[in-house]
Amino acid sequence: MAEKNELMQEYIWIGIIIAMLTTFLVILGYVSEAKGFDTPSSAVTCDVRQVRKGEILTPGVKEVAPGIYEVNLKARMWAWIPNSIEVVNPKKIIFKVTSEDVVHGFQIVGTPVNFMVFPGYIAEIQWEVPEDFEGTYLFVCNEYCGLGHDTMWGQLIIKRE
């Protein structure tokens, strides 16, 4: 009888574990799909020396189609180049970001945009900007990169007309 009870407890615990795993996967699925969180869509390799010389990834903001912006960003200790990005009525922003030196992290506070930036790689991330996003958003480096890490920030200005 005691053995039967122990077996029953085993099944109960297996059931609890399966229920927990299912719950975590459902939450993960919800966050990635409904909230638009995503992993970097691609990472293209590049030569850091060419990035430093400015031969690859000229920093700046370009409207490639109505409402579609391409933002080229360079990270270096301890600045984002450019550190001010302005877009008008954006539908989608395509970020292409690389680092000149060490690992940095690009995060726009209050948005799902958050990814790591590695030297030697161009991270390309697309963000479909919800219509209610308007105003000035702070972007920061969220990977500790040295003494001036806390001064590494910039602003994304979203204008609606």
Closer CB to Cu ion, 122 or 152, in the complex:
152
Closer CB to Cu ion, 125 or 145, in the complex:
145
CB 75 within 8 Å of CB 83: no
Q: Which of 43, 141, 156, 158 binds Cu ion (CB under 5 A)?
A: 141
Q: Which of 57, 145, 156, 158 binds Cu ion (CB under 5 A)?
A: 145
Q: Does 125 bind Cu ion (CB under 5 A)?
A: no
Q: β-pairing, 68-76 with 92-99?
A: parallel
**Residue with tokens 């638009």, as numbered in its chain:** 36
Q: Which of 89, 149, 153, 155 binds Cu ion (CB under 5 A)?
A: 149
Alpha-carbon dihedral 80, 112, 29, 123, rounded to 10 degrees = -20
Q: How far is the CB of 67 from Cu ion (least distance, A)?
A: 31
| Pairwise CA distance, residues 131 & 42, whole Å | 25
Closer CB to Cu ion, 73 or 87, in the complex:
73
Q: How far is the CB of 104 from Cu ion (least distance, A)?
A: 5
Closer CB to Cu ion, 91 or 149, in the complex:
149
What's the half-sphere exposure (Cβ side, CA atoms, 13 Å) at 111? Answer: 26
Non-local (6+) Cβ contacts of 68 within 8 A are 90, 91, 92, 94
Q: How far is the CB of 145 from Cu ion (least distance, A)?
A: 3
| Pairwise CA distance, residues 80 & 96, whole Å | 12
Q: Does 73 bind Cu ion (CB under 5 A)?
A: no
Binding site residues, Cu ion, CB under 5 A: 141, 145, 149, 152
